[in-house]
Chain A
Amino acid sequence: MNNRAFFLLTWNTVQKELRSKSFYMVIAITIGMLVIGYSIMQAFREQIQVEGGPQMLGNGQLFWIYYAFINAWSVFLALLFGLGCVRSDISSNVIGQLLAFPINRTWYLISRVLGSWLLVGFYQLLSFLLTAVLFFDAIKEIPVTAMILAPMISLLPTLAAVILGLFVSLWVGKAPGMILTGLAAMGGSWARSVFADAENAFANLSLLKVVGLILWIVIPRFAAPHSIVQNFAETANTEIAWVDISQFGVATVMIFIITNFVFKRRGF
């Protein structure tokens, strides 16, 4: 496939999602929540200071809470786009026409993933900029490396989420896919809390534990890359979770390889 075709397919992915109202809704909700949340926090803080109440969180700490919130929303948005980027071509019968062209199926998938990822990246950048404006005073307290790394590292979990959404969309539609990936992500998070510090994860196996172990091994640990930012931010003595980061990378690549394998053999 030539570069122009790849660029057009990638841009076409962005166009498709820009036409969906959900993207604008999520942006509006994010801006609303960030601004309203900030205003409430400031008002609450002033009230407590007047009455001599306990010390509230500093702006620096609040900044990182906002960072976590943006990342959680971004993963949700990335899953949503991942679920729709190929599925919409299938449901509108355009896929047959597209794949009849000399387009390599792997490059087609990559263009869909890249387009969705670019859009989520734009959303993240916009949210971080807004957060930076709101917490302008606190930025001085935050190490420069952490500030630079934060938006860049955040792009990794969203890429994994787009790929996971795409994988699920090969079997189910958008709504069941969202429920399924949501359950899997929650299950993965639960499994992580159970197995991360377990001395012997394989002891006393039950059905629930086996499901948890599978999720722990298979679902990319979306939060793992953020340990790098936390380490540089010095908000807590956080070690970089290299094992979890490796699992995140390997699981993401494996999901893409399986998705590509299935997609290349799928009849349309």
Chain B
Amino acid sequence: MSIVQAQNLSHQYGSYQALDNVSFEIQEGQCFALLGPNGAGKTTFVKIMLGLQNPKSGSLNLFDQKAGIAEARAQIGYLPEKFSFYPYYKVKDTLEFHAAVSGISKSQSGSEIELAMQKLKITELANKKLSNLSKGQLQRVGIASLLLGNKRLLILDEPFSGLDPIGIKDLKDLLRELKKSNITLFINSHILSEVEPLCDHFGILNRGQLLVVGEKNQLLKGKSLEDYFSEIVQ
């Protein structure tokens, strides 16, 4: 089943072309990486997926519904590059808030929050305020919030940013585990070395144009992602 369907998607900010006629599909259970240098249009694509931006032309469907509608967003988990929330909220309150606005019942949310905190090794931070957390700890809270509810698609915008080596390893393990449970992963990144072992499909965006898209092994043909990327972008 097609989870993401982009057709001739274009978007401009004034005269700047952020996305130019982008078309591709992501199937259920895939781990898809959208790669590109800074300013390539990756974040704009994510914003359209989340309904935070309306495209100027073209269409983007999630789960066969128009991206942005509440029914589609209910099935998405989103981790921004810099997870930020109200600094006076405690970790547990933050996760409770995320569970509530995701539509998870109060009776169900308690156990889910406990489990998510255990998986991300932040149980001892439960009663700490977000303002007292390090960047890496904050990112872990953001990742924990993704595990709440039955999400079918996880959108991770530069997920490795701000994490220490142990944090990166933990996140990679977690993403592998999620992949096994048939959750579709959409990773937006420019740290190619971290993304390469995880993704099975990728696309490269540059100046709003989708240069390549497809299955990783078919595209790379034995090359490293880093070499292939610089070849394509240059």
Bound-state CA distance A85–B97 (Å) is: 18
A5-B101, A100-B78 given; A267·B53 CB < 8 A: yes
The answer to whether the Cβ of B103 comes within 8 Å of any Cβ in the partner chain is yes
Q: Chain B's interface: helix, strand, loop or mixed, by majority?
A: loop
A267-B47, A268-B47 given; A8·B101 CB < 8 A: yes
Bound-state CA distance A96–B78 (Å) is: 10
Across the interface, which residues of A come within 8 angstroms of B86, CB to CB?
12, 15-16, 92, 94
Bound-state CA distance A27–B50 (Å) is: 40
Query: Which of A93, A94, A102 is packed against the most chain B CB atoms within 10 Å?
Result: A102
**Interface of chain A residues 79 through 107 with chain B (CB within 8 A):** 92-94, 96-104
**A3's closest neighbor in chain B, by CB?**
B100
Bound-state CA distance A267–B13 (Å) is: 11
Across the interface, which residues of A come within 8 angstroms of B52, CB to CB?
96, 99-100, 267-268
Across the interface, which residues of A come within 8 angstroms of B80, CB to CB?
93, 96-97
The answer to whether the Cβ of A21 comes within 8 Å of any Cβ in the partner chain is no
* B198 CB to nearest chain A CB (Å): 22
**A108's closest neighbor in chain B, by CB?**
B101
* A180 CB to nearest chain B CB (Å): 25
**Interface of chain A residues 229 through 268 with chain B (CB within 8 A):** 265, 267-268
* B76 CB to nearest chain A CB (Å): 7
**B88's closest neighbor in chain A, by CB?**
A19
* B9 CB to nearest chain A CB (Å): 14
Q: Is the CB–CB distance between B84 and A93 below 8 Å?
A: yes
Q: Is the CB–CB distance between A102 and B84 below 8 Å?
A: no
Bound-state CA distance A27–B170 (Å) is: 49
Across the interface, which residues of A come within 8 angstroms of B223, CB to CB?
none
Across the interface, which residues of A come within 8 angstroms of B216, CB to CB?
none
* B83 CB to nearest chain A CB (Å): 8
* A104 CB to nearest chain B CB (Å): 6
Q: Is the CB–CB distance between A97 and B78 below 8 Å?
A: yes
Across the interface, which residues of A come within 8 angstroms of B53, CB to CB?
267-268
Bound-state CA distance A1–B102 (Å) is: 9
Q: Is the CB–CB distance between A102 and B71 below 8 Å?
A: yes
Bound-state CA distance A21–B53 (Å) is: 34
**B105's closest neighbor in chain A, by CB?**
A4
Bound-state CA distance A96–B51 (Å) is: 9
Residues of A within 8 A of B (CB): 1-2, 4-5, 8-9, 12, 15-16, 19, 92-94, 96-104, 265, 267-268
Further contacts, 6 of them, CB under 8 A, given A94-B86, A102-B71: A5-B100, A5-B101, A8-B101, A19-B88, A94-B84, A102-B73
Residues of B within 8 A of A (CB): 47, 50-54, 70-71, 73-74, 76, 78, 80, 82-86, 88, 97-98, 100-103, 106
